[in-house]
A and B are shown apart, each in its own frame.
Chain A
Amino acid sequence: MLCSTISLELAEIADGSAELVDDSRVHVERCIRCQAELVQYKKILRGLTSLQGEFIVPDDGLLEEILATVQPPATVHKLHRLNHKHRKVAYISSIAAAGAAGAIVLAARLASREKVAS
């Protein structure tokens, strides 16, 4: 039996999804390099399994971004309404402010004309 044939199975043997049987078992028992390859796969698989407990820390703000993404529709609607209400108030206030400023300017001009006339 060739090492290259066994090599195809070694990773599956290392993870327990396949078993060494008959000729392949005899070969691996005698072949030090196939044994080494099997040990390497076992180490890799153990290392990979241990990675599950390792967290990669996300940059700041991810949690807030996720929570904003999953906002219930009612809250989003409410926010829109709130924004709309705020915009309405700001619009009316700016019109009122512009009106008041116009009235002051007009009154000032009238007062200065009266002064000149007298």
Chain B
Amino acid sequence: MDSKEFGKLIEEAQAGDHRAFEELVRDTYADTYTLAFRLVGDKEDARDVVQEAYLRAHKGIKKFRGDAQLTTWLYRITANCASTYLTRRNKHQHGDLDGLDPVDEDPDRDPTNRADVADLRSQLSDALMKLPPKLRSVVVLRDIYDLSHESIAEQLDITESAAKVRLHRARKRLREHLYPMGEEDQAHAV
């Protein structure tokens, strides 16, 4: 669907046309679900987050001003819903979102032998799922979905500097996971 058609549907949905809103859902839900899954790391939880996100989008569609893309607006809503969901889940599980260091389930990792992009993507997806949710949320929103630090901070209810610190830690962990250091490198890092 091109942006003109998209814009028309948004206008119709804002005017109360439920079918137009349904069409927007059909066109965006796979993308929104993918983001939700990357944020919460569980299929069932991602379904709940997506439903909540569209419910909020439905209630707030009239407030959408069109100064951002609809998808970016949906990303922000989804990020906010996922953050709320993770906080609630964490309360029930009494766990720490920052958690322990991710468990290394695959010690046989050597990216130099697997240089192709598809493989890197698959390794990255795995590495992302091993990050604690608080770090994962920030790196997913910034580096995959290109949300600004300001927007990320707002949706996750944290300060902008906290978002930047988390991003730095997340990227560092991803690098450590994908390119584990040898003894020589560890000495270099000191």
> Is B100 close to A, CB under 8 A?
no
Q: Which residues of B contact A7 (CB under 8 A)?
A: 189
In the complex, the chain A residue whose C-beta lies closest to that of B184 is A33
> Is B145 close to A, CB under 8 A?
yes
Q: Which residues of A contact B33 (CB under 8 A)?
A: 55-56, 58, 62
A40 and B144 in contact, given A56-B33, A58-B33, A70-B58 (Cβ under 8 angstroms): no
Q: Which of B76-124 contact A (CB under 8 A)?
A: 111, 117, 120-121, 124
Q: Which of A45-53, A95-103, A106-114 lies at the interface?
A: A45-53
> Is A11 close to B, CB under 8 A?
yes
Bound CA–CA A51/B176 (angstroms): 19
A51 and B125 in contact, given A37-B175, A59-B43, A70-B21 (Cβ under 8 angstroms): yes
A contact residues, total (Cβ < 8 Å) = 36
Bound CA–CA A65/B43 (angstroms): 14
Q: Which residues of B contact A54 (CB under 8 A)?
A: 34, 121
| 21 A-B interface contacts by CB (under 8 A) | A11-B175, A41-B171, A41-B175, A44-B124, A44-B178, A47-B120, A48-B144, A49-B143, A49-B144, A51-B38, A52-B145, A55-B34, A58-B29, A58-B47, A62-B50, A65-B47, A66-B54, A67-B25, A69-B51, A70-B54, A72-B18
7 other A-B residue contacts (CB within 8 Å) besides A3-B189, A52-B144: A4-B190, A48-B144, A51-B144, A58-B47, A58-B50, A69-B54, A72-B18
**A-B CB proximity, top 4 nearest:** A48-B143, A70-B58, A11-B171, A56-B34
